Amino acid sequence: MANNKMIVEERVRDIGNFLVGRLLPFRKKRQVGPFTFIDHMGPFKIEKDKGLGVDQHPHIGLSTLTYLFEGQVEHRDSTGAVQIIRPGDVGFMTAGKGVAHTERTPTLEYNNPDASLHGYQVWVALPKNDEEMAPRFDFITREDLPTWQEGGLTLTLVAGEGYGKRSPLPVYSPLFMLDVSAQEATELDIAGNLHGEIALVIAKGQITDGEETIEAGQMLVSKTEDECCITLGKDSRVLIFGGQPFPEERHMYWNFVSSSKERIEQAKEEWKDKAFPKVPGDDTYIPLPS
């Protein structure tokens, strides 16, 4: 592996009923462009008493992007947003100065014997000038995302700009996130089509980069912008994301991201004091980790 690239192994963590795989951050690389955090959910089978059930918790200074391959997630937040997110849709909650939300398997899914869940949640840090913006929730259906064919590949631009296209999802800094599927082994040319730091999450199958093979559950991070091309194996699926890094360091504690350590301390106290806005009609509360 050339010294301008790193391979990252998925690390498992527990979120109640489920184990999820965390890919970012890791010790040698805290961010890729403005992306600060990636969790891989599933694939899980939804059972009668076992679904996704993340109770009310807070965020500041970031946007959470939920993108599914299988299943459904019901999103509710303190702006009043209620939305079922399905495969290929994008749920994008911008926390700004502070938001609380829940993420749960919709009730009807428990009656579906074939119900499953597989997808990713990605956190995108906000630029310093937008860290205290008013919270909001944006939702884009899969039909409204740019999708196109290149040889044996199907590409969807989930967020940002790339390959001469722009996603309708509102974002706050130069970035990109693409979902790429290979029907047959195919080269993908990246140079000149994506700008900024680049990472590739292998969701299914494998990719090759020169003589190196990167398998499902791993992430390839390029430390330079001049990555020229990769080869996706037959029936592989890859998420590509990245963009321009911020000039300031970002600090992270639990669900809080900020350019200011003092702001994170303030958010911790506000959550402990139950001073955050609440999800309407929801009295659940995940305590601040000790």
CATH label of the domain that carries residue 152: 2.60.120.10
Q: Quick check: is 61 in a domain?
A: yes
Alpha-carbon span 184 to 202, nearest angstrom: 16
Identify whether the C-beta of residue 34 lies closer than 8 Å to the C-beta of residue 72.
Answer: no
Question: To the nearest whole number, what is the mean pLDDT of the chain?
Answer: 89
Q: Quick check: is 283 in a domain?
A: no
Whether pLDDT at 101 is above 90: yes
Query: Residue 167's domain spans which residues?
Result: 5-243
pLDDT bin (cut points 50, 70, 90) of residue 31 is: confident
Q: Quick check: is 254 in a domain?
A: no
Average pLDDT over residues 247-255: 93
Whether pLDDT at 276 is above 90: yes
Identify whether the C-beta of residue 219 lies closer than 8 Å to the C-beta of residue 8.
Answer: yes
Q: Quick check: is 90 in a domain?
A: yes
Q: Quick check: is 144 in a domain?
A: yes
Least confident of 44-53, 55-64, 69-78: 44-53
Closest CA to 70 of 54, 56, 89, 93: 89
Closest CA to 182 of 216, 225, 212: 216
Whether pLDDT at 226 is above 60: no
Q: Quick check: is 181 in a domain?
A: yes
Write down the pTM of the prediction: 0.90
Identify whether the C-beta of residue 132 lies closer than 8 Å to the C-beta of residue 97.
Answer: yes
pLDDT bin (cut points 50, 70, 90) of residue 224 is: low
- Rounded to 5°, the CA angle 184-145-20 comes to 70
Q: Quick check: is 30 in a domain?
A: yes
What DSSP character marks residue 127?
P
What one-letter code names the amino acid at 59? H
Burial class (CB in 10 A: 0-12, 13-18, 19+), 262: exposed
Closest CA to 146 of 133, 155, 137: 155
Alpha-carbon span 31 to 257, nearest angstrom: 12
Alpha-carbon span 134 to 171, nearest angstrom: 14
Q: Are strands 62-70 and 90-94 parallel, antiparallel or unpaired?
A: antiparallel
- What pLDDT is recorded for position 273? 97
Alpha-carbon span 111 to 90, nearest angstrom: 24
Q: Where are the beta strands (DSSP E) in 183-217?
A: 186-189, 197-204, 206-209, 212-215
Q: Quick check: is 13 in a domain?
A: yes
Kind plus residue range of the DSSP H or E element containing 262: helix 261-272
Indicate the number of domains in the chain. 1
Is the sign of the CA dihedral 125, 30, 24, 211 positive or negative?
Answer: positive
